[in-house]
Structure 1
Amino acid sequence: MEERKRWCMMSISLSVCKQALPLVNFPAGRLKMDSFDPRRQKEKVVVVMGVTGTGKSRLSIDLATQFHAEIVNSDKMQVYEGLDIVTNKVTEEEQCGIPHHLLGVIDPEVDFTATDFRHRASLSVGSIVGRDRLPIIVGGSNSYIEALVDDEDCEFRSKYDCCFLWVDVPLPLLHPFVSNRVDRMVEAGLVNEARQMFEPDADYSRGIRRAIGVPEMDRYFRVEATANEETRASLLEAAINDIKANTCILACRQMPKIHRLRNLWRRNFHRLDATEVFLRRGEEADEAWEKLVAGPSHMIVKQFLYSEYPSRTISATTAVARTVVAAATH
């Protein structure tokens, strides 16, 4: 009789377990364990940083295609509408269908401040999280990123846990690449695009006219219609050289800011050395990118999103089963 009772109780417990365990339901994408942890977990945000020309946009798109993510632009010139070549915006084809927020949406005459960015980016991140997707913030304007992450009220940090990825390339190695990139931008139509923004009384301290590639062309545009061919060629060459020099100066200014933020945000701050990528060409460069930047970044983000969950998943499921069995045997 006692044996039969024990068998019946076990049958009941197993039956209840079969009904109860499917309720432990994990949605596709990022795992959420709020139902098992009384302390609500912060939402996850990835931030991709680096000086101009290091491949931040490429990395953000690589990651977004693997983690069901959307991208929030944090480049202070790319937020403006227009001058797509001058500001080096990612093209629609390069976006690979990944939604991009705050990219080419601000009136070019408006002064869009770090405070404005913090407000708009917070809304974008909240919207992305609300769709159960991963926000990836990417751009070279470190003042924007700092204003968002370390706002005065600590509102962002109270809601989100951040993983910072820094794509690092030695500046002496980066400068020739930047110079070549400017040449490609000129071939793609930089001069004609900048000409559309030219006005004799233009204020180059406001709006999109602050972008490198616009003020440098001013002198050339002023005499373009009247100067002889030799003078025009000389002024155009000087303007292009100024664009290259100022882009390199920008990179030099960005580097110490990144080091400062790295010291400030040591937790979850990861340096990715892309030196070999810039030393190689063609397929070898792509292979180096996958091996040294994209691959490690994928693992870092995967661990950031999921590492804390497997043990908790097992223990939570086991706890449910034990609770059901205990209730059936008492």
Structure 2
Amino acid sequence: MESHYQKTKVVFIMGATGVGKSQLSVDIATRFPAEIINSDKMQVYKGLDIVTNKSSVSERRGVPHHLLGEFEPDTDFTAHDFCRHAGSAIERIVKSGQVPIIVGGSNSYIEALVEDPSFNFKSKYDCCFIWVDVSLPVLHYSVAKRVDDMVRAGLVEEVRKMYVPEADYTRGIRRSIGVPEMDKYFRAEKDMDRTSKEMLLKASIEEIKNNTCKLVNCQLGKIQRMRYELGWLLHRIDATPVFEKCGEKCGKKAKDAWEDLVIQPTLDILNDFFRENEIFVANDTMIIPTTMIQPMGQLQVSI
């Protein structure tokens, strides 16, 4: 019987912070039977939902998410821990007849999962890597704007609630960009006049923006390493035009561009990826026959 089955299919959605990975993963997971595994090393922790930019319950649109806000903030969740928990989640998802979609910007976690021989990932799974990319000048502008949105949403107060003098910013969720940058402000704010406080807060926010842009550059460097040094086949989706139309979640033109330039090309790539097992989209319906992953009957899920 085993000779009739192909390797289990696993989809990865990758890219720098702020390119819309989480949104795309949900867009795809609402179009065929799938569940999402978070691979962002800060989003695995409980708390700081604004700082870590976790998807809200409404943004998840009923799609099951794994490793999202599950671990205590002060614990050290390592790449090895991610591999163990992600592996277990993949097995549960596959047994339920769903496709695992792994999404997040922590490329060190993804590389460890795929490349570490102790996890034997490559021999078990057939992988499709979707890389959502946005040109650097456009993305730097967008992530800076997003920081401003996070501040308006309550970033400062969120961080203040967990502020501890002499905190260790090398452990747990306190490593998140947006937390250590506020330390100087919280230390000094009680002894400063209003103008000085505003200036210091502005400087802290600017530091968050700068560090976020540095993170973007680092993430892109790791993606290029995966592509050229490790030889991964990355399917690049250029979302730049979407962001040029005022951002990933702004206006009808941007939404239409997202559908045409991001969602549809991704579905086309997944059609090719699943074609070996005759999984395809036709007439707005995803068809998954009995040869997929395990005996599960034919499913038809409306898009």
TM-score range relative to shorter protein:
0.7 to 0.9
Q: Work out the CA distance in 1 between the residues paired with 2:129 and 2:230.
A: 8
Runs of 4+ residues deviating >2 angstroms: 37-40, 263-269, 306-310
Inter-partner Cα distance in structure 1 for 2:102 and 2:254: 25
Deviation at residue 91 of structure 1 after TM alignment: 0.5
1:69-84 matches, within 5 Å, as 69-84=34-49
Aligned partner of 1:129 in structure 2 is 94
Q: Is the 8 A contact 2:40 2:104 kept in 1?
A: yes
1:294 is matched with 263
Question: Does structure 1 retain, via aligned residues, the 8 Å contact 2:6–2:277?
Answer: no
Is residue 195 of structure 1 aligned with residue 166 of structure 2? no
- Larger CA deviation: 39-48 vs 130-139: 39-48
CA drift at 1:269? 2.3
Aligned to 1:247: 212
2:83 aligned partner = 118
Partner amino acid, structure 2, of 1:136: I
After superposition, residues 31-110 of structure 1 pair within 5 angstroms as 38=3, 40-110=5-75
> Gaps (5+ residues) in structure 2?
280-287, 292-303
1:279-298 deviations in Å (ceiling 9; x for gaps): 11321111111111100101
* Cα separation, 2, equivalents of 1:291 and 1:188: 30
Tell me the amino acid that sits aligned with residue 130 of structure 1: K
- Matching residue of 1:14: none
Aligned equivalent of 1:161: 126
Aligned residues: 277
Q: Does the CA-based 8 Å contact 1:162-1:268 persist in structure 2?
A: no
Aligned partner of residue 225 in structure 2, secondary structure: helix
Provide, for residues 8-60 of structure 1, a one-character-per-residue CA deviation record: whole Å limited to 9, x for no partner.
xxxxxxxxxxxxxxxxxxxxxxxxxxx5x725311100000000111100110
State the TM-score, normalized to the length of structure 1. 0.81
Query: Which region of structure 1 is more displaced relative to structure 2, 270-279 or 131-140?
Result: 270-279
Match of 1:233 among 198, 201, 204: 198
Q: Over aligned residue pairs, what C-alpha RMSD do you find? A: 1.7
Partners of 1:153 and 1:214 lie apart in 2 by: 34
Write out per-residue CA displacement over residues 84-118 of structure 1, whole angstroms, 9 at most, x where no aligned residue. Answer: 00000000000000010000011110111101100
What secondary structure, in the 3-state scheme, does the structure 2 residue paired with 1:201 have?
coil
- Structure 1, unmatched stretches of 5+, are 1-34, 317-330
Residue-by-residue CA offset, 1:232-254 (whole Å, 9 max, x unaligned): 11111000000001000000111
Deviations for 1:289-311, whole angstroms, at most 9, x for unmatched residues?
1111100101111221234538x
TM-score (norm 2): 0.88
- Structure 1 match to 2:274: 305
Q: From the superposition, tell whether residues 255 and 167 of structure 1 become closer, same or farther in structure 2 (CA, over 3 Å).
A: same
**Contact kept in structure 2, 1:109 and 1:206, CA below 8 Å:** yes
Letter in 2 for 1:118: C
Letter in 2 for 1:296: P
Quick check: which one's helix share is greater?
A: 1
Task: Give the letter for the 1:254 counterpart.
Answer: Q
> Partner residue of 1:181?
146
Structure with the higher fraction of residues in strand conformation: 2
In 1, are the aligned partners of 2:80 and 2:112 still within 8 Å (CA)? yes
Following the alignment from structure 1 to structure 2, what is the Cα–Cα distance between the partners of residues 304 and 151? 23
